[in-house]
Structure 1
Amino acid sequence: MKLNPFKPVDNAPLILFRIFFGLLFACETFGAIVTGWVKDNFLQPNFTFSHIGLEWLQPLPGYGMYLYFGVMGLLSLLVMVGYRYRLTLGMLTLLWAGVYFMQKTSYNNHYYLLMLVALLLLFLPANAYASVDAAQNPKIKSLVMPVWCSWVMIGQIAIVYFFATVAKFYPDWLNGTFTRNLFSGIAGCSFLKGVFTQPWFCLFIAYAGIVFDGLIVPALLWKKTRTVALIASLVFHIFNSITLRIGVFPYFALSFAVFFYEPETIRNLFFKKWKPKIEEAISVATGRKTLLYFFLPYFVIQLALPLRHWFIKGDVLWTEEGHRLSWRMMLRDRDGIVAFKVVDKKTKIAMYYPYDRYLTRKQVNGMTSKPDMIWQMVQRIKKENLQKGRDVAVYVDCMVSVNRGPYKRLINPNVDLAAADWNYFGHSSWVILYE
């Protein structure tokens, strides 16, 4: 049977997803203010570790970031109700991209996923009804959409789960080391903590994670296993929400389930009063250029980014090169000890830079084990000295432990990192490799 991406189908899943998306985004943004996340990551630091090349992207002064997040929260609610949908969603996407690229100290894959999905929704007719836009402008009202609108959302979440599965096939995951470390740090009653740190439980969680990530999308696609898969998703994500406290991500991941069920099922559950006439909606077979010129390149990039670390010299688990944007989620923990030796090129006087005076504890914990953040810290030290009229060399001595293993030297201590470049697409030679 030939698949027709422009076949008109009931658009109830997309409409419902827009509502879920707006609500969860509002919870994320307002919650960041209430829980102190904004304060910890944007108000307390003297500067943030932005993505390399975007160092100019820094927090607003004073309490400006509270306003910034408040605006995002309001925009999220406007997206939820479908008011000026593309304008409000476009602004939300841009502001959230600013948050994502502005700091790496609290890097999280679900921040990246929120940004990507917001971008995808900009190209989808998610305000076609059950929205303020449709009420104010009946011309845009429609109860149908081309079936590819569901396919792109399924494709996005499938990429997330697939690469999350592949990434787990390494020794410390397969032998339960990482899950044991993860649960040993979870607060709770002594009984639960005792169970969570048992070898059998850590192995169960490790392999359950592989099975769930690897099979959930196929199981949701197959009608005979769909309900069982949904129940498994509820158990898996709610368990993660309670034990790992990872914000809205578990509920956001669950919201994608609406695209796997028959649209009529979603409509009967949530939008009974609207009944589409699919046979009268052949005109929705549009968007060919959008599919060809935006979504096709988009998915090529989404498949390429998680694969890039395989083409970079060294083990990504150690080097971190190619780690971000690759769906390597909840996969390892790193701990580092670092010292920055600053040498005045003219006088040859050396001193150690007191970085802990200028960074928050959270920034120190993040920076000391990650090569890109260490390199950025060195560039700041160099710039700071140049402003004082001193040309300096900066040498870094850094010892790192992965998954509480033995400490090993990460950075070549004989390289002047102030004069070294960051390799965007390959291995930086000053990161020490171990075969």
Structure 2
Amino acid sequence: MGSRLLFTKMDNSPLVLFRIFFGILISLECYGAIMTGWVRTNLVIPDFTFTFIGFEWLRNLLGPGMYVYFFVMGSLGILVALGYRYRLSMLSFTIMWTGAYLMQKTSYNNHYYLLILISAIMSLLPANHSVSLDARNNPGIRKEWMYSYVKWLIVLQLFIVYTYASIAKWYQDWFDFSIIEILMKGRSHYPIIGDWLQLEPVHQVIGLTGILFDLLVVPALLWKPTRNLAFICSIIFHLFNSMVFQIGIFPYLSLAFIVFFYPPETIQRIFLPGKTAYSGKESTKPAYARPLLLLGGLYFVVQILLPLRHHAIPGNVLWTEEGHRLSWRMMLRTRQGQATFTVVDRETGERRPVNLHEHLNPKQRQKIAAYPDFIWQFAQHLEDIYAREGKEIAVYVESRVRVNNHAFAPLVDPNVDLAREKWDPWRHHNWILPAPWSSEVDQLIQ
């Protein structure tokens, strides 16, 4: 049964069409990052970028380097869409995008992480075997079929993403719609829909829809009687998110995935009429079946366990942020804060307040005021600056933070020298003070 599910041959039109869509979308993402000023704001102007902890060696390129970097990635997207030197183009994009992702986290989005995963998966799939320049230049690789495991790789990845996104919303601030109200307040200036987005019934609809859509959309797309309805709901849901939250290509990438849920013959007939259809149903195990099952199983075990890691870390993840990233915890909280950094010379005892404006841009200052890992990283950065001057310092921080509509409360122990603290992504850091709120719902779900 398992072999037939994974190793039956099927028409590869969904994979081919998705390759084209995916290449176009990643190209637009990278070129758009240049044109909108995202690259300039996050990777060109800052003297110091907050990398993912452990990847401090990944530094942004100087001068026009980052513009070239993103231009190359956008061009690789075009090559992917055309299917030209596909493996090299897709693998190169995956490596470069991962680098761009890890070298800054001030502007973090979950779909940046999803792009890494999908790009890595696509690098291994035979998406260039049909309707591609590779197949035209090398007819020996031309195939009109793929193994069905290709479809299920994508479907299972999406199921994990959407399911965790729904479960993460099962907490008090979502159930009482207060987080929806906060998110919508920032969009009151939108023409036509701005006032409408402030209505309480609209908040309730958005909140309930967010939970139910994420939980049910993949099963509904898999079941033929509900597939078309799920497709229509997906269009409405993702276009709404694109218009209201302006989250780049993610809504359109989500819609592109839907090609894997429709029969291949339907995709071929509508989108690729010039492609030769494949109607066979043979089931044969390829030579690489065993390593594929082993590595694929290991990959999905990691994907299932990684979003659960915050349960093994003491404290409320909404407050501590420990275990938040890479966990599909999307649109769950807003954070505001004020932070004061004080540097103490270990030799003389001299205390000196830090002028954050001398080191960081406005968005970076917002982050270090409210996020523990940013606070810790900036303390390490300050230590490095003074170490280059031959001085040993201690760094103390006073920080008050507000999460969603909860009251402001101290986040960091002001008596702990953060310059001496180590960071461990798998444990709680005791200098992060306990959350100022507690409820049965929060503790049950979070």
Whether the TM-score (by the shorter chain) exceeds 0.5 is: yes
TM-score (norm 2): 0.95
- 1:224 matched to 2:225? The reply is yes
Q: How does 1:199-348 map to 2 (within 5 A)?
A: 199-279=200-280, 285-348=286-349
SS of the equivalent of 2:328 reads: coil
Matched, 1:17 2:24: no
Offset, 1:194: 2.2
Deviation at 1:285, TM superposition (A): 4.1
What displacement does 1:290 show? 4.6
Q: Deviations over 1:265-300 (max 9, x none)?
A: 111111223334443865674541452243211111
The equivalent residue for 1:67 is: 68
User: Is the contact made by 2:8 and 2:284 (CA closer than 8 Å) also made in structure 1?
Assistant: no
| DSSP-derived class of the 1:51 partner | coil
Query: Given residue 270 of structure 2, which amino acid in structure 1 is its aligned partner?
Result: L
**Are the aligned partners of 1:7 and 1:285 in contact in 2 as well (CA < 8 Å)?**
no
Aligned-partner residue type, residue 327 of structure 1:
W
Matched, 1:118 2:119: yes
Instruction: Work out the CA distance in 2 between the residues paired with 1:277 and 1:194.
Output: 52
Which residue in 2 is equivalent to 1:433? 434
Indicate whether 1:91 and 2:102 are aligned. Answer: no
- d(CA) in 1 for partners of 2:169, 2:284: 45
- CA separation in 2, counterparts of 1:286 and 1:231? 40
For 1:385-418, what per-residue CA distance to the aligned partner results, in whole angstroms no more than 9, with x for missing partners?
A: 1111211111111111001421111111111111
Matched with 1:105 is 106
Residue of structure 2 equivalent to 1:169: 170
Q: Tell me: CA distance 1:357–1:221, structure 2 relative to 1, closer, same or farther (3 Å).
A: same
The residue number in structure 1 matching 2:350 is 349
User: How far apart, in 2, do the equivalents of 1:140 and 1:67 lie?
Assistant: 32
Deviation, 1:199, is 1.4
How far is 1:17 from its partner? 0.6
Q: Report the Cα distance in structure 1 between the residues aligned to 2:159 and 2:381, rounded to whole angstroms.
A: 39
User: Residues 291 and 81 of structure 1: is their aligned pair in 2 closer, same or farther, counting only changes over 3 Å?
Assistant: same
Code of the residue aligned with 1:200 in structure 2: it is P
Aligned partners of 1:341 and 1:395 also within 8 Å: yes
Tell me which moved more, 25-34 or 423-432: 423-432
Shift of 1:164: 0.3
Aligned to 1:82: 83
Once the 2 structures are TM-superposed, how far is the Cα of residue 326 of structure 1 from its aligned partner?
0.1
Note if contact 2:34-2:67 (Cα within 8 Å) is conserved in structure 1: yes
1:155 corresponds in structure 2 to: 156
CA distance in 2, matches of 1:274, 1:324: 41
Report what 1:38 is aligned to: 39
SS of the counterpart of 2:20? helix
Structure 1 equivalent of residue 366 of structure 2: 365
Alpha carbons of structure 1 residues 355 and 188: separation in structure 2 relative to 1, 3 Å: closer
Cα distance in 2, alignment partners of residues 292 and 74 from structure 1:
33
Deviation at 1:141, TM superposition (A): 0.6
Equivalent pair of 2:8/2:282 in contact (CA under 8 Å): no
Cα distance between partner residues in 2 of 1:189 and 1:144:
47
Q: Secondary structure at the match of 1:421?
A: coil
Alignment coverage as a number of residue pairs: 435
State the 1:429 CA deviation. Answer: 1.0
Amino acid of the residue matched to residue 168 of structure 1?
Answer: K
CA offsets per residue over residues 138-183 of structure 1, 9 Å max, x none? 1111011110000000011111100000000111111111111111
Name the residue aligned to 1:403.
404
Aligned to 2:441: none
Give, in angstroms, the shift of residue 195 of structure 1.
1.8
Contact preservation (8 Å) 1:344, 1:390: yes
Q: Residues 151 and 393 from structure 1, CA distance in 2 versus in 1: closer, same or farther, beyond 3 angstroms?
A: same
Superposed, 1:385-396 pairs within 5 Å as: 385-396=386-397
Matched, 1:382 2:383: yes
- TM-superposed deviation, 1:191: 5.5
**Given that residues 126 and 146 in structure 2 are in contact (C-alpha distance below 8 angstroms), is that contact kept between their aligned partners in structure 1?**
yes
C-alpha distance in 2 between matches for 1:397 and 1:29: 38
Q: 1:368 to 1:335 in 2, by over 3 A?
A: same
| Aligned residues of 2:110 and 2:330 also touching (Cα < 8 A) | yes
Deviation digits for residues 170-212 of structure 1 (CA, Å, limit 9, x no counterpart): 1111111111111111154565322211111111101111011
CA RMSD, 1 decimal: 1.5
Q: Is the 8 A contact 1:334 1:404 kept in 2?
A: no
- Length-normalised TM-score, structure 1: 0.97
One-letter amino acid matched to 1:95: M
**For residues 58 and 236 of structure 1, what CA distance do their matches in structure 2 show?**
37
Q: Taking structure 1 as reference, are residues 54 and 178 closer, same or farther at Cα in structure 2, changes over 3 Å only? A: same
The 3-state SS of whatever aligns with 2:128 is coil
| Alpha-carbon contact 1:19-1:81 (below 8 Å) kept | yes
Conserved? CA contact 2:187–2:197, under 8 Å = no
**In the aligned structure 2, how far is the partner of 1:240 from the partner of 1:286?**
43
Which SS does the other structure have where 1:340 is aligned?
Answer: strand
The one-letter code matched in structure 2 to 1:401 is R
| Structure 2 CA distance for partners of 1:106 and 1:341, relative to 1, 3 Å | same
Query: Which of structure 1's runs of 4+ aligned residues deviate more than 6 A?
Result: none
Deviations 1:328-359 (A, max 9, x none): 01111101110111111111111111122110
2: CA distance, partners of 1:280 / 1:420? 59
Secondary structure of residue in 2 paired with 1:343: strand
Give the aligned partner of residue 198 of structure 1.
199
The amino acid that maps onto 2:434 is L
Partners of 1:49 and 1:105 within 8 A in 2 = yes
Amino acid at match of 1:166: I
CA distance in 2, matches of 1:143, 1:292: 23
- Letter of the 2:225 counterpart: K
Does structure 2 conserve the Cα–Cα contact (< 8 Å) formed by 1:335 and 1:404? no
Are the aligned partners of 1:86 and 1:122 in contact in 2 as well (CA < 8 Å)? yes
